[in-house]
């Protein structure tokens, strides 16, 4: 049994067996590495999905906050516009009221000056009548100057 051909054949079979074992080990390592990579990729995908859901939730929250802020801004703008309209209306009313007061003041001034002028004219007229009466004979005791001028007042006055 010491045949060299047989011995070479055994060596070759052992060599092929070792090579196959080495190839199987490498394949198993590659398979384990691939499975590990797949698990890592699955974890990464899950993490990315969770991150996406979180970002979408944040975006929805930001959209809600933006809509609320926009609504509040629109309300503030409307209130500001209303206040401006009220201010214009009040300014218009005040100007009209001031003009009316100015007109009333001018009317009252005119009436006061007219009354004052009439009063002065009456006093001046009475003084003239008194002078005329004195010049005609002095019969003015106990009578008013207007009575001397022929303006007799009623007995009830």
Q: How far is CA 124 from CA 29, 111, 128, in A?
A: 137, 19, 6
pLDDT in tens, 47-78: 999 999 999 999 999 999 999 999 999 999 99
The pLDDT assigned to 127 comes to 86
Dihedral of CA atoms 99, 101, 106, 107 in degrees, nearest 10, equals: 120
CA distances for 70 relative to 61, 63, 65, 67, angstroms: 14, 10, 8, 5
Query: What whole-number distance in Å separates Cα of residue 89 and Cα of residue 83?
Result: 10
146 — pLDDT class (breaks 50, 70, 90):
low
């Amino acid at each position: 049994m010491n045949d060299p051909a047989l011995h070479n054949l055994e060596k070759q079979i052992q060599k092929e067996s070792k090579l196959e074992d080495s190839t199987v080990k490498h394949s198993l390592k590659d398979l384990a590495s691939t499975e590990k990579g797949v698990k890592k990729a699955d974890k990464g995908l899950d993490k990315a999905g969770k991150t996406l859901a979180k970002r979408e939730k944040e975006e929805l929250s930001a959209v809600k906050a933006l809509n609320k802020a926009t609504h509040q801004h629109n309300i503030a703008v409307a209130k500001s516009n209303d206040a401006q309209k009220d201010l214009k209306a009040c300014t218009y009313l005040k100007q009209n009221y001031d003009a009316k007061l100015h007109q009333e003041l001018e009317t009252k001034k005119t009436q006061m000056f007219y009354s004052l002028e009439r009063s002065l004219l009456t006093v001046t007229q009475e003084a003239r009548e008194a002078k005329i009466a004195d010049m005609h004979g002095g019969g003015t005791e106990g009578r008013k100057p207007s009575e001397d001028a022929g303006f007799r007042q009623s007995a009830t006055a």
